[in-house]
Structures are given as C-alpha cells and as structure tokens.
C-alpha cells in the first residue's frame, strides 16, 4: 500500500460526465486528491471542492491548503467586473446545485435546468476573463486570448512585488513587524 489517503471533497459527487442525455449519460468521480501522512505533520489543512464542469466534461478541483500563515487579511481592491453582474459568484453555485439535482433525479426537468445553469456559467466565464484582463493590467494581443496561465503569472509577480516589508513611523523609526 502506498500510504496515501483521499482528502475528501465538497460539491457534486462526480468530477466527470460524458455530456450525453438520458440513459446514455454517465457520471463518475475520476479525480481525487491523495495525501500521505506527512502533510498532517506539516501542520497543513487540505480541502478539495469540485467546481462546476462547464465548459468541460471534467470538473476542476479547487485545492486549498491552509497554514497559520495563510490567515493574514488581504488588501481590498475594487474590480470593475463586480459591477457587471450582481450574481456573478452565484453562477458556479447554480451549476453545482443543478448537477446535484440531476445526480439525485435524472429527469428531463433537471436536465434542462442543468443546461440553463451551464449557459449562465458560460456568460460568467466571459466576465471572469474580463476580470483577469484588468487584474493583469496589460493589453492582450488578440481579443479573446485564453492564455490565462500567463496572466495568472503576471498577477502573482505583481502581487509579490507589492508587499510592504517595512514602513517608517511618524517618529522616523523603521517598522518591520505586521502590527
């Protein structure tokens, strides 16, 4: 035995669907996060969330690893995408609910609700793309470029450079601790 265990998950029971209707529809949990006991010794808490499958046949896994260092507050930054649609963050939840309903009762009504949730999710993904355009603060060479890995790297680099390591107090002393 390899000594690994499944972390578990939240969200839909399945991570894959063949995207066929009716009796030909197959759902399965193909994707998992396995960890060995050393993860617990590092003081890490792992969690996995199955996200909405749209537009793929596989559900992406959102893996969260938290330690005591991850509890710092994040700086607030207003993003234009928030004003484009009030329920932007609810689109993925609606897909998860529709998938769960269809898991439980694969009726025509639930299949139609799932297809409608997928359409809403597609629109939300377009809005997320606009978010990353603003977040990366660079012009895209072509409208609709899907190279999100590059833009995520730009955002991560910009974030690492924007950390304040020390600040001068009103008395002229350099402060380095978080307080």
CA distance 92 to 121: 6
Q: Please, are residues 131 and 82 in contact by the beta-carbon 8 Å criterion?
A: no
pLDDT at 68: 53
Q: Give per-residue pLDDT as tens, 126-177.
A: 777 777 777 665 444 444 455 566 666 666 666 666 666 677 788 888 787 7
Cα distance from N-terminal residue to C-terminal residue, the chain: 47
Q: Where are the alpha helices (DSSP H) in 32-107?
A: 38-41, 90-104
Residues 63-81 pLDDT 10s: 888 765 555 565 666 666 5
Lowest-confidence region among 46-50, 57-61, 83-87: 83-87
Q: d(Cα 113, Cα 97) in Å, to the nearest integer?
A: 10
| Cα separation, 60 vs 54, whole angstroms | 9
Check residue 95 and give its pLDDT: 86
Distance CA 165, CA 141 (A): 34
Give the closest residue to 128 by CA, choosing from 92, 93, 74, 75: 92
Please tell me the distance from the alpha carbon of residue 66 to that of residue 55, in angstroms, as a whole number: 29
Give the C-alpha separation, 102 to 166, whole Å: 53
27 membership: H or E segment, kind and range:
strand 27-28
Q: Write the DSSP symbol of residue 168.
A: E
Q: Could you tell me if residue 19 is left (phi over 0), alpha (psi between -120 and 50 degrees) or otherwise beta?
A: left
Q: What is d(CA 9, CA 13) in angstroms, rounded to the nearest whole number? A: 8
């Amino acid at each position: 035995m390899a000594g690994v265990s499944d972390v578990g998950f939240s969200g839909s029971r399945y991570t894959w669907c063949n995207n066929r209707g009716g009796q030909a529809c197959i759902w399965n949990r193909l994707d998992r996060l396995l960890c060995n006991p050393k993860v617990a010794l590092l003081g890490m808490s792992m969690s996995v969330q199955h996200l909405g499958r749209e537009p793929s046949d596989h559900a992406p896994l959102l893996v969260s690893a938290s330690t005591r260092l991850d509890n710092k507050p994040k700086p607030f930054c207003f993003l234009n995408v928030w004003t484009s649609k009030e329920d932007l963050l609810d689109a993925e939840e609606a897909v998860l609910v529709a998938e769960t309903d269809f898991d439980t009762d694969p009726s025509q009504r639930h299949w139609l609700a799932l297809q409608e949730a997928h359409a809403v999710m597609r629109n939300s993904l377009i809005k997320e793309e606009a978010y990353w355009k603003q977040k990366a603060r660079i012009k895209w060479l072509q409208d609709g470029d899907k190279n999100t890995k590059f833009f995520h790297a730009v955002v991560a680099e910009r974030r690492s450079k924007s950390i304040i390591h020390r600040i001068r107090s009103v008395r002229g002393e350099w402060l380095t601790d978080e307080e």
